[in-house]
Structure 1
Amino acid sequence: MIHDVEEFVAFLDGLRKRTMQYVKVVPNSILDWQPAENKFSTGDLLRHLGSSQVMFLHVFEHGKWSYPGHERSKGEHIEEIVQYLETCHMKLKEGLLALGNELLTTKVPTLHGYEVSSWRIMTALMEHEIHHRGQLATYLQMNGIEPPQIFGLRIEQVEKV
């Protein structure tokens, strides 16, 4: 359970910082690449990471789900997409801090319509970002780009017992 919104926001900053390490190695040349028809392109995936933060904030603020989309108008080139991601993250942080700790006991609907405490949706927000960061790492590898090491070391560099 989450007990403090300020601590949660600080954790989210670290989570997003690690995600941005991956985003910043994405070249413009693979933004339109997608692993299969009807799947997110790399650019769609990145814009979705921003838009989903706005979506989560909307449910906390208004008690209903609303997704702002991930179309190209939110960023065609990596520089624009990075700006969009930063803007969305700032909006989320400011919104959560404005809601404060009262948010933690507020009930909000899930995507399926039943109500849960907001802190449960806050954990889903984290899980969602981590899921898509892993997806981005796979996209990078499928395009011959080595993703950054999330904590600075490859597993081969960790001492074996």
Structure 2
Amino acid sequence: MTEEGQDDRRHHVPLLDPAGLLDILESNRRLTLRVIQAFPDDALFSYKPVEVLRPFGEMVQEILNIEDDYVRGIALGEWSFGKVADNARTKAELLAVCEQVRARTRELWPRITTGRLLQVEPDPFFGGPPQSHFERLVYALENEIHHRGQGYVYLRELGIEPPLFYER
């Protein structure tokens, strides 16, 4: 406890800890799931404010495909660009794929060590520069946050109050 009486455990957690990283991913996913659940069934895969944007359901498919591909690649060294979420066409199907992908992440996560996170390898998909696996997972997290923010805007445009950001 600090002098102010606040729990100060965060200062004793290693900066790069796979379990802590998974906790961050889980917290963010809980919020993303709440955004998905807030969408009307008929709008999740159809509503977009302008033609050049995608419906939120398609953005979530991308989030899930990236997670599945990156976690499998980092944990097993098997890099393939999959489309695990592309067949989901309803809210129920998308939520089921969310759970399937996250269950696979939880299953493989014990193989993701700090050393593996720090390992730098060439970009397996997009031809970008080499990067660490930690950077890949941060990219996946940033991508999810970005698209979730778009989902918030879409919900507001549909007249729906989005979930509170701080409730995870």
**If the length of structure 2 is used for normalisation, what is the TM-score?**
0.77
Is contact 1:44–1:70 with CA below 8 Å preserved after alignment? no
User: Any idea what SS the aligned residue of 1:7 has?
Assistant: helix
User: Are 2:127 and 1:112 aligned?
Assistant: yes
Which SS does the other structure have where 1:138 is aligned? helix
Deviation (angstroms), 1:67: 4.1
Deviation at 1:55, TM superposition (A): 2.4
1:17-96 pair list within 5 angstroms: 17-31=30-44, 32-60=46-74, 61-62=76-77, 64=79, 66-68=81-83, 70-71=85-86, 73=87, 75-96=88-109
Between stretches 77-86 and 53-62, larger displacement belongs to: 53-62
The within-5 A match list for 1:8-23 is 8-23=21-36
Choose 99-108 or 3-12, whichever is displaced more.
99-108
Structure 2: gaps (5+ residues) = 1-13
Give aligned-pair identity as a percent.
Answer: 21
Q: AA paired with 1:102?
A: G
Deviation at 1:53, TM superposition (A): 1.0
Cα distance change on mapping 1:40 and 1:70 into 2, 3 Å: farther
Rounded to whole Å, the distance in 1 between the matches of 2:21 and 2:31 is: 15
What residue number does 2:149 align with? 134
User: Would the aligned equivalents of 2:56 and 2:150 in 1 still touch at CA under 8 Å?
Assistant: no
Partner of 2:138: 123
Does 2:110 align with 1:100? no
Aligned length: 150
SS in 2 for 1:145: coil
- Distance across 2 between alignment mates of 1:2 and 1:36: 41
Sort the Cα spacing of 1:24 and 1:13 in 2 relative to 1 into closer, same or farther, 3 A. Answer: same
Segments of 4+ moved more than 6 angstroms: none
TM-score, structure 1 as length reference: 0.80
Query: Residue type matched to 2:138 in 1?
Result: T
Question: Which amino acid is the alignment partner of residue 49 of structure 2?
Answer: P
Whole-angstrom CA distance in 2 between matches of 1:64 and 1:108: 11
The amino acid of 1:116's aligned partner reads Q
Corresponding residue for residue 144 of structure 1: 159
The 1-side partners of 2:120 and 2:106 are apart by 19
Q: C-alpha deviations, 1:96-130, integer Å up to 9, x for none?
A: 32232331222222333321221111211221111
